[in-house]
């Protein structure tokens, strides 16, 4: 199957412009599974909840998902993208999956980063979705720092970790190689580039989107300064082999009774 990322530089608040730029670029390809950055349609640095409320959309039904559904069906694309979601009076930093048939599923970010905690509500479950024969595990940006997320997604059958991101620190790309090795899965990290200055706060985003295979090898990567669309061909079946050596299976060799500390609240 063909998988890829679209690395972008969104302009804060310019939802229609950001969506049109992404769909115009993706119009050039078909028959692929593509990951876009976190909050790709809006930009990242919301000043307050009022501003977030004016930009967040319902899923499905809003402008962004409708445009992505049309593109997905037209070009037989499976799309994973980050956007601010309005749901029952709350706001979520969400990853939306639109299949090539136009169906929609949502993962709401569980591990909120820094000021996201001021106005987003955290999600309460993880999500694995089907893309043909492949299963996609959804996580968003800072979720990478919690290895339990990738493990839970892999145990639930994910072959490919789809990781929309707005990374500002340099660690995730290395960490995701490890997540791939320890779970024998593929990972697509779709980051953004550019910077945002809003009031007294400014952030620079680090690009370097990448696709990694179950051996931790980088199949494609982007720079930290240009928008970029990359697509590679993979054999997704490689992610079904959890044998690390002839005598070690990464899932069967686990000893869950010894892992109680992982599900205990901090002492």
HSE on the CB side for 44, CA within 13 Å? 28
Does residue 141 belong to the site contacting ligand ACM (CB under 6 A)?
Answer: yes
Does residue 167 belong to the site contacting ligand ACM (CB under 6 A)?
Answer: yes
The DSSP result for 161-194, as a single string, is EEEE----SS-HHHHHHHHHHHHT-EEEEE-BEE
Contacting range for ligand ACM; rule: CB under 6 A; set: 55-63, 165-173, 213-221, 223-231: 165-173
CA distance 197 to 29: 33
- Binding ligand ACM (rule: CB under 6 A), the pick from 142, 154, 161, 193 is 142
**Smallest distance, Å, CB 205 to ligand ACM?**
9
Residues 170-209 that bind ligand ACM (CB under 6 A): none
HSE on the CB side for 142, CA within 13 Å? 14
Contacting range for ligand ACM; rule: CB under 6 A; set: 64-72, 163-171, 233-241, 249-257: 163-171
Place of tokens 């997704």: 236
Q: Tally Cβ neighbours within 10 Å of residue 258.
A: 8
- Binding ligand ACM (rule: CB under 6 A), the pick from 99, 166, 173, 210 is 166
- Binding ligand ACM (rule: CB under 6 A), the pick from 37, 38, 139, 214 is 38
**Smallest distance, Å, CB 108 to ligand ACM?**
13
CA distance 204 to 182: 30
Catalytic residues: 38, 109, 141
Residues at the interface with ligand ACM (CB under 6 A): 38, 113, 141-142, 166-168
């Amino acid at each position: 199957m063909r998988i890829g990322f679209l690395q972008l530089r969104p302009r804060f608040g310019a939802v229609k412009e950001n969506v049109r730029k992404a769909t115009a670029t993706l119009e050039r390809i078909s028959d692929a599974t593509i990951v876009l950055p976190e909050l790709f349609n809006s930009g990242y640095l919301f000043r307050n909840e009022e501003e977030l409320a004016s930009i967040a959309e319902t899923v499905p039904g809003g402008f962004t998902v409708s445009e992505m559904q049309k593109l997905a069906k037209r070009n037989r694309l499976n799309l994973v993208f980050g956007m601010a979601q309005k749901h029952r009076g709350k706001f979520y930093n969400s990853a939306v999956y639109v299949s090539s048939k136009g169906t929609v599923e949502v993962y709401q970010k569980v591990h909120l980063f820094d000021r996201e905690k001021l106005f987003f509500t955290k999600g309460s479950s993880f999500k694995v979705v089907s893309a043909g024969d492949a299963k996609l595990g959804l996580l968003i940006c800072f979720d990478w720092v919690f290895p339990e997320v990738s493990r839970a997604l892999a145990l639930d059958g994910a072959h490919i970790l789809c990781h929309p991101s707005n990374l500002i620190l340099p660690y995730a790309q290395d960490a995701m190689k490890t997540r791939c090795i320890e779970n024998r899965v593929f990972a697509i990290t779709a980051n953004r580039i550019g910077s945002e200055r809003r009031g007294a706060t400014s952030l620079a985003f680090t690009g370097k989107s990448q696709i990694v295979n179950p051996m931790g090898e980088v199949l494609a990567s982007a720079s930290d300064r240009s928008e970029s669309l990359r697509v590679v061909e993979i054999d997704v079946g490689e992610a079904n082999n959890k044998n690390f050596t002839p005598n070690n299976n990464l899932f069967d060799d686990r000893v869950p009774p010894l892992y109680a500390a992982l599900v205990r609240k901090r002492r």
